[in-house]
Amino acid sequence: MLSINLQRLTDKQPIMRYNESAWWLTLWKKSDEFGFLAQVQSQVLQQCLKDLDRAFSDGFDRKQPLKRMPRFKKKGSNDSFRFPQSVRVEGNRVFLPKIGLVRFRQSRPIEGLIRSATVSRRGKHWFVSILTAREIAEPIHQSSMVTGIDRGVVNLATLSDGSVFEGSKPLKRLAKKLAREQRKLARKTKFSNNWKKQRERITRLHIKIADARNDAIHKATTIISKNHAVIVLEDLRTKNMTASAKGSIDEPCTNVRQKAGLNRSILDMGWFEFYRQLEYKQRWRGGQVILINPRNTSRKCSACGFTDKVNRQTQAQFSCMACGHTENADVNAAKNILAAGYAVQACEGIGGYAPNEAGTRGAAMRPLPLAA
């Protein structure tokens, strides 16, 4: 279906939407060439078509500029499928249509009416994620505190009150080991048994790096979310910030190695994942995340407002050339971010405005408390 729709776009023809795709799917299941599709539970295939249809809709949506057109995934990468109904849990087993009862380990009690179950693979392990529906009361945040947060490559997050959360930097710690394992893979015969075993070792190492990063981010975001009703962040376009600096043959760029190192550090910290976790945890607790324009937050003096790049003589220290105010550069930036959050509310009037990251749906905005 994806191939057909991409070809239709190339030919400037309308793409197939879900209803037409589902009609073709029924015919293909009865054919000799695609008869194997009949072995798969019908609703699983329909869910794939619905996901594809939504991906094309998002790709055409001008309100979500970061959404791209769907593309083919590499085989074995992020494999998953979804059952929309007929899923039930019996003790330590889950019933999946056309598969039957499968033993699994619950990470938490399952509450509410089961809506769907998504089965996914990560390395050698399979996981099931169960979506439920239940009524919950409108959350009210237990705190009234407000904070501004500066994300960095030395520390994951620095708060306007001076608190610092260090990142785990797993890629930096395991970079040499990863490079060594990749060199071993390059020396083996492709698709041989030893090559497959070595590739599995590299996969496990990548999973270890990702788990360490997510663990550090979860710990930091949970503490911050519990203690602050409103969190102000810079609206950083991580994808643009980590773009390659190689340029072209006609217009080559400079400082390519330095930019590549900065890109790795930003991605190793997980800036967008940090924002994503804060956003949904604040919605869970009845809090709010506000995104502000990051312009000059690191060059502006939080004491007098003087803005100039000469205020940053070093990466770690901020020294105002106008009033002499000296402070840790990240703390100074966090205070400016917090002040910008208050300015956003003042400009928009009651309720304030928190711009959403492009490509996300966001949550309802609430008034920004005036108590810091």
What's the rounded mean pLDDT across residues 259-274?
Answer: 93
Decide if 130 contacts 87 (C-beta within 8 A): yes
Mean pLDDT, the chain, whole residue set: 89
Residue 319 and residue 193 share a domain: yes
The closest alpha carbon to 37, from 47, 24, 28, 46, belongs to: 28
What pLDDT digit, counting tens, does each position of 36-67 carry? 999 999 999 999 999 999 999 998 988 877 67
Non-local CB neighbours of 218 within 8 Å, separated by 6+ positions: 277
Residue 255 and residue 113 share a domain: no
Residue 295 and residue 159 share a domain: yes
What's the rounded mean pLDDT across residues 54-81?
Answer: 86
Determine the structural domain holding residue 114 and report its residue range.
80-133
Residue 89 and residue 24 share a domain: no
What pLDDT digit, counting tens, does each position of 289-348 carry? 999 999 999 999 999 999 999 999 888 999 999 999 999 999 999 999 999 999 887 776
Query: So what's the pLDDT on residue 225?
Result: 98
Residue 189 and residue 302 share a domain: yes
What pLDDT digit, counting tens, does each position of 139-164 carry? 999 999 999 999 999 999 999 999 99
Residue 231 falls within a domain, yes or no?
A: yes
Query: So what's the pLDDT on residue 368?
Result: 44
Query: So what's the pLDDT on residue 313?
Result: 84
Non-local CB neighbours of 200 within 8 Å, separated by 6+ positions: 123, 124
Residue 166 and residue 52 share a domain: no
What pLDDT digit, counting tens, does each position of 272-292 carry? 999 999 999 999 999 999 999
In this prediction, residue 356 has a pLDDT band, given cuts at 50, 70 and 90, of very low
Q: Say how many domains are in the chain.
A: 3
Residue 372 falls within a domain, yes or no?
A: no
The catalytic residues are 150, 234, 330
